[in-house]
């Protein structure tokens, strides 16, 4: 009877335990479900934010990349460790041509990365949320890019980290399966996989292969503790651990397990240390001191080192340490010490920290985004779009970069409103927000040279950058156009043929290629004809000393051309240079040339410049009417009343008792709200503009 009672009690206890376990499992299942939902939501939010604010940048990233089918292109990348990853990265970068599609692919890849991380580290319940750390760091790596989009030398850099992490996780999971498959042969197979990963992985993935090795080592540690815990449980209840029982696997003693685990970790360390040194003899184009970072992006430009960009990579590595620790906690290594509440707080803190880091590293530089949006608009021939972007910057307190100002002037010039609207947009010379000196030759300069008809200089910088930073779609496009416009037909075909092999630029190449050899058609084409009018016909030896703006201003301001388009360009540049002697003959020529045209009027800013220069040098002989002074000539020039009124108002404002004693900088601030849209303000108060 007592025995029966005891059995009954035991049965009740068992049922109760089973119920508790069921409840626990169901709670964990619910937590897992909720975690999965949260992770997917995080991805959706990140994807939405990327599309919403980074579409133009992502589009530009594929223009600053190149992927070509065939062996020749692959060979150019595979001479360095990590070439295959770069090749894949370049392939995937193409899809940013449609930013939404590119982002969707990226988010899918991150979802896979999270899935693989969860599978490898066997995190369930709320701990599963920790797998979001990896994509958060990948997001930081992606969005911190900024001006590296032009300067980064690693091909496919936008995708390489995601691919490197993804492939490393796949390899580590394969090792995990091997190790769990059998205690001895599985581990030996895993070790072989590690050797193969080190040897081939280093060739194909460069330093990312170290991540795969590290993950495999970490995985072995996790499995060791898992089995140790299993053994302890077995010792407690006299049965094999769950996994081995289910799989009827032979088990090893804890000591043997520890030796295997130690050997695996040691092997990973040794391979990571030795293989790059051995393969230095295979890769004859990699510096010995750089073998351990081969395949990683370089955040150094010239003498400027930018270590802040490496932080996200270090934190990415740290994320895997966190996941490993979380996995160990799950297996009870630190179970007694970590309480659920504390764990929840730690998880939330980690996720919060990673999120805020990702947001902090996200490049929010408005000028950078405006530059790219304007450049993209100009490349689409959307001149009004470029002007709208520039106009939108007027609301910002920061001043624009010179390249933005140059693009604005170009857009106005192309729509024929430069004389009327040149100073209606923000002016400035803010240096690009980067840790190194960003130059216009890399950022926008090629486009400016092309559109101003300086075809050899555009071609030159495309070539220089192709050599320095690797070949990119943008360079090939400009080189094709320059060669075509200059009548270098054979080489133009070469570049067009290369572009026709790309996924998304075939159409572009097919649009322009028919112009080859047809200068007459180019002259008739609305897009190409302004360039044909501006391009130089005489030849001389010259150099721009990497100063695009100065070179353009000086060559045009000093140039004399019969063509009306060219002539107005010389007038515009002499005005921007504030060079009175250069201005007058070009102004006179402009007026004489257009005087007989129906509805002719002299645009506002040309008038303002002429009026101001007459005021500044009244006694000097007029260029327009030789023998007459500027003061007399001024009376004959039919200035708009607005031009005169604004000048007088400007001068009156300047003579106000509260304004007159101010320094030039203070005056610039005081005048800005009222007069920043006048030539007078530009002439007197916009000085020392530094170009780059």
Partner 1 sequence: MNKSRNIAKYIFLLALLCLSACKNAEVPAQFAEGKSMPDIYPDYAGVTVPCNIAPLNFAIENEADNYVTRIKAGDNEWVIGEQSVMIDEEDWQEIKQTALAGNGAISIEVFTENGGNWTRMKPFEMFVSKDSIDPYISYRLIAPSYVTYEGLTINQRCLENFDESVIYSNMINSNEKDGQCINCHSYQNYDPNTMQFHVRQAHGGTVIAHDGKIEKLNLKASDNMTSAGVYPAWHPTLPLIAYSTNHTGQSFHTYDKQKIEVQDTYSDLILYDVEKQEVQPLPRDTNDLDCFPFWSPDGKYLYYCSAHYEMNDSTGRTKEYDLILNYQDVHYNLYRRAFDEKTRQFGPQQMVYNSGDTCSATLPRISPDGRYLMFTRGDYGVFHIWHSSSDLYLIDLTQATQAQAGNKSQQAAKGSGVAELGSASEAPTFPGWNGCEARCLRELNSPDVDSYHSWSSNGKWVIFSSRRYDGNFTRPFIAHMNEDGTFTRPFELPQANPSFHQEFLRSYNIPEFMRGPVTIKPQEFAKVIFADSIQAKLSPNAPKEADIATGASRLNK
Contact flag: residue 54 with partner 1 (CB under 8 A): no
Out of 2, 248, 537, 597, point to the residue binding partner 1 (CB under 8 A): 537
- Asked if 479 and 459 touch (Cβ cutoff 8 Å), the reply is yes
Alpha carbon 245 to chain centroid distance? 51
Contact flag: residue 535 with partner 1 (CB under 8 A): yes
Kindly state the smallest distance separating residue 20's Cβ from partner 1, in Å. Answer: 46
Kindly state the smallest distance separating residue 287's Cβ from partner 1, in Å. Answer: 6
Helix axes 208-237, 185-196, angle to 10 degrees: 170
Compare residues 68 and 573 and give the one whose CB is closer to partner 1: 68
Contact flag: residue 464 with partner 1 (CB under 8 A): yes
DSSP β-bridge partners for residue 305: 300
Compare residues 354 and 552 and give the one whose CB is closer to partner 1: 552
Tell me the window of 63-71, 137-145, 219-227, 635-643 that interacts with partner 1 (CB under 8 A).
Answer: 63-71
Compare residues 455 and 582 and give the one whose CB is closer to partner 1: 455
Compare residues 72 and 526 and give the one whose CB is closer to partner 1: 72
d(CA 506, CA 528): 19
> Binding to partner 1 (CB under 8 A): which residues in 276-335?
280-281, 284-290, 298, 300-303
Kindly state the smallest distance separating residue 405's Cβ from partner 1, in Å. Answer: 24
Measured distance between the N- and C-terminal CA atoms of the chain, rounded to whole angstroms = 97
Compare residues 247 and 497 and give the one whose CB is closer to partner 1: 497
Compare residues 53 and 456 and give the one whose CB is closer to partner 1: 456
d(CA 471, CA 677): 41
Kindly state the smallest distance separating residue 483's Cβ from partner 1, in Å. Answer: 8
Would you list the DSSP string of 229-259? HHHHHHHHHSS--HHHHHHT-----HHHHHH
Tell me the window of 214-222, 452-460, 508-516, 564-572 that interacts with partner 1 (CB under 8 A).
Answer: 452-460
d(CA 62, CA 52): 17
Among residues 502, 376, 471, 505, the alpha carbon closest in space to that of 91 is found at: 502
Task: Specify the long-range contacts of residues 343-349, CB closer than 8 Å, at least 24 apart.
Answer: 343/126, 343/127, 344/126, 347/126, 347/127, 347/129, 347/130
Compare residues 180 and 535 and give the one whose CB is closer to partner 1: 535
Compare residues 44 and 463 and give the one whose CB is closer to partner 1: 463
Out of 49, 124, 366, 494, point to the residue binding partner 1 (CB under 8 A): 494
Contact flag: residue 148 with partner 1 (CB under 8 A): no
> Binding to partner 1 (CB under 8 A): which residues in 70-99?
70-73
Cα separation values, 276 from 80, 270, 273, 615, Å: 12, 11, 7, 72
CA-derived radius of gyration, the chain: 34
Phi, psi of 16 (to 5 degrees): -60, -45
Among residues 98, 84, 89, the alpha carbon closest in space to that of 67 is found at: 89
Contact flag: residue 562 with partner 1 (CB under 8 A): no
Instruction: Print the binding letters for residues 1-30 with partner 1: x by CB under 8 A, - otherwise.
Output: ------------------------------
Q: Where does this chain bind partner 1 (CB under 8 A)? A: 68, 70-73, 153, 280-281, 284-290, 298, 300-303, 454-457, 459-460, 463-468, 471, 483, 486-488, 490-491, 493-494, 497-498, 535-544, 555
């Amino acid at each position: 009877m007592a025995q029966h009672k005891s059995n009954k009690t035991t049965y009740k206890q068992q049922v109760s335990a089973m119920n508790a376990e069921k409840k626990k499992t169901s709670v964990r299942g619910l937590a897992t479900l909720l975690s999965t939902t949260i992770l997917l939501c995080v991805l959706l939010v990140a994807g939405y934010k990327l599309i919403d604010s980074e579409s133009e940048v992502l589009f530009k990233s594929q223009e600053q990349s190149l992927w070509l089918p065939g062996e020749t292109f692959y060979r150019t990348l595979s001479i360095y460790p990590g070439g295959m990853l770069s090749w894949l990265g370049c392939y995937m970068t193409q899809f940013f041509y449609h930013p939404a599609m590119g982002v969707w692919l990226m988010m899918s890849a991150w979802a896979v990365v999270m899935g693989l991380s969860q599978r490898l580290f066997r995190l369930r319940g709320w701990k599963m949320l920790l797998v979001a750390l990896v994509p958060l760091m990948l997001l930081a790596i992606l969005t911190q890019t900024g001006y590296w989009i032009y300067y980064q030398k690693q091909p496919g850099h936008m995708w390489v980290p995601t691919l490197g992490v993804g492939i490393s996780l796949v390899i580590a999971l394969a090792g995990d399966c091997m190790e769990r498959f059998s205690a001895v042969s599985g581990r030996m197979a895993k070790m072989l996989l590690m050797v193969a990963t080190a040897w081939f992985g280093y060739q194909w993935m460069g330093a990312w292969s170290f991540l795969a090795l590290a993950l495999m080592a970490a995985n072995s540690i996790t499995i060791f503790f898992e089995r140790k815990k299993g053994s302890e449980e077995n010792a407690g209840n006299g049965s094999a651990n769950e996994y081995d029982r289910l799989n009827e696997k032979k088990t090893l003693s804890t000591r043997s397990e520890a030796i295997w685990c130690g050997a695996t970790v040691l092997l990973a360390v040794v391979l990571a240390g030795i293989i790059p040194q051995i393969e230095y003899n295979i890769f004859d184009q990699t510096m010995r001191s750089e073998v351990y970072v081969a395949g990683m992006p370089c955040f150094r430009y010239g003498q400027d080192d930018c270590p802040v960009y490496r932080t996200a990579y270090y934190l990415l590595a740290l994320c895997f340490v966190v996941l490993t620790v979380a996995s160990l906690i799950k297996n009870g290594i630190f179970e007694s010490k970590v309480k659920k509440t504390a764990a929840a707080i730690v998880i939330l803190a980690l996720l919060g920290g990673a999120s805020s880091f990702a947001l902090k590293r996200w490049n929010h530089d408005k000028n950078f985004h405006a530059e790219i949006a304007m450049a993209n608009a100009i490349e689409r021939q959307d001149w009004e779009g470029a002007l709208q972007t520039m106009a939108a910057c007027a609301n910002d307190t920061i001043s624009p970069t010179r390249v933005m100002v140059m693009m604005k002037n170009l857009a106005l010039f192309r729509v024929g409103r430069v004389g009327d609207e040149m100073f209606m947009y923000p002016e400035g010379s803010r240096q690009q927000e980067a840790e190194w000196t960003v130059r216009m030759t890399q950022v926008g300069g090629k486009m400016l040279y092309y559109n101003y008809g300086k075809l050899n200089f555009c071609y030159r910088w495309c070539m220089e950058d192709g050599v320095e930073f690797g070949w990119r779609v943008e360079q090939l496009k400009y080189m094709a156009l320059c060669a075509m416009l200059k009548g270098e037909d054979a080489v133009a075909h070469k570049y067009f043929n290369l572009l026709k092999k790309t996924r998304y630029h075939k159409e572009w190449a097919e649009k322009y290629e028919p112009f080859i050899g047809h200068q007459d058609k180019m002259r008739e084409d609305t897009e190409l004809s302004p360039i044909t009018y501006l391009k130089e016909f005489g030849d001389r030896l010259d150099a721009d000393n990497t100063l695009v703006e100065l070179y353009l201003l000086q060559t045009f301001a000093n140039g004399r051309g019969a063509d009306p388009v060219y002539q107005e360009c010389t007038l515009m540049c002499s005005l921007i240079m504030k060079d009175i002697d250069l201005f007058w003959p070009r102004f006179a020529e402009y007026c004489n040339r257009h005087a007989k045209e129906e509805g002719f009027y002299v645009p506002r800013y040309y008038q303002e410049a002429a009026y101001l220069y007459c005021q500044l040098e009244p006694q000097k002989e007029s260029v327009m009417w030789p023998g007459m002074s500027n003061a007399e000539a001024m009376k004959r020039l039919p200035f708009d009343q607005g031009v005169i009124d604004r000048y007088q108002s400007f001068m009156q404002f300047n003579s106000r008792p509260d304004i007159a004693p101010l320094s030039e900088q203070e005056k610039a601030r005081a005048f800005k709200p009222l007069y920043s849209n006048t030539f007078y303000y530009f002439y007197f108060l916009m000085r020392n503009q530094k170009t780059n």
